[in-house]
Amino acid sequence: MIVAGANGWRKGRSIGGPRGAWEKAVGRLTGLVRRVSHGQQVQSSGAKAVVGDLDDATFIKTRALENDAIFHTAAADHKPSAEAVCQGAADRARRDSVPDDAPHRQIDLTILKYQKEIGDKAKIAVMIPPLPYGYNPRRRRLTIQIPTLTRFAMKHGFAGHVGKGLSVESRIHVLDLAQVFVTLLHQMEDALLQEFIDNLYFFLRKWT
């Protein structure tokens, strides 16, 4: 997080006070100041400091791009710096968005397109695909995902993963899967339409 005008606004109170306001986050804070001496005062509160000028749009934009939260307290009527902050936030949003060639992305875009066309005439929900596991005695069938991954690991000596292996996938027993859809159906019946317009994605998690 970065605070522009960290030392100037009300004598530095945007970081320095009130007491305890930033206690848990001060180590993640960076104060943007115009003078080295002001930066030293910011650092004395436990935050980091960078020296720059509001008229340097490239500098402000870069700081906004690098931080997930920006507090602009330096000036209420300085348009270039306000615009630079917004440009940095916009670039960050584009950088962090899912590329159009990512798996499932074209399906997402198609659903979002029709959601806009349908508007308030219907509710649409997308359940992020879970990893089902377990045996269904009624159907006498075993899910294939876990056995397939296990056989791969035994054969090759390591567990397969995508990229750096940081992706997260929910898991649920196959016998509980039907209840998930029933729960979502009830949610769609009870919730306001606007909730599904704002966010139509649902991530499954089995609480035990």
What are the start and end residues of each CATH 3.40.50.720 domain in the chain?
2-96
The residue ranking higher by pLDDT, 132 or 8, is 132
The values of phi and psi at residue 51, to 5°, are -100, 130
The residue ranking higher by pLDDT, 18 or 68, is 68
Superfamily of domain 2-96: NAD(P)-binding Rossmann-like Domain (3.40.50.720)
Q: What is the 3-state secondary structure (H, E, C) of 61-105?
A: HHHHHHCCCEEECCCCCCHHHHHHHHHHHHHHHHHHCCCCCCCCH
| pLDDT single digits (tens) 29-55 | 788 888 888 778 777 777 788 888 888
Q: Which residues pair with 141 in a beta bridge?
A: 136
